[in-house]
Amino acid sequence: MSLAMLQVGQRIMTLVRSAVEHYAVITAMGGRVDEESLAYFIEKEAGDWDPVIKGRRLLRNPDTRKAGARFLAGIAYEVALGEQAEKQGVAV
């Protein structure tokens, strides 16, 4: 595995963790968060991040960038729900 791939993976995990934390903050204040709002948050967090592997820009296409954010948002949402359930002592 190349260093570039590891760096992309690390950034992806950072974005997911950031979205999970965002979910926790918003819901703790009584707000509601869904996958779409997390996707928007991730898109904004990623900003102009433009990962390159083997000379290929992975997110050059805006549709790919949106789809990637939506995919990561789904993961973050499920992780956040699991963490919330654990705090409430609910089995998931």
pLDDT tens-place string over residues 11-35: 999 999 999 999 999 999 999 999 9
Residue with tokens 């499920």: 78
In the chain, what are the domain boundaries? 3-88
| pLDDT at site 50 | 93
Nearest Cα neighbor of 42 from 84, 8, 76, 5 is: 76
pLDDT in tens, 50-92: 999 999 999 999 999 999 999 999 999 999 999 988 888 766 5
d(CA 6, CA 61): 22
Whole-prediction pTM:
0.89
Percentage of the chain exceeding pLDDT 90 = 86
DSSP at 29: T
Helices (H), the chain: 3-28, 35-46, 62-88
Tokens of 92: 């998931």
Of the pLDDT bands very low, low, confident and very high (cuts 50, 70, 90), residue 1 is confident
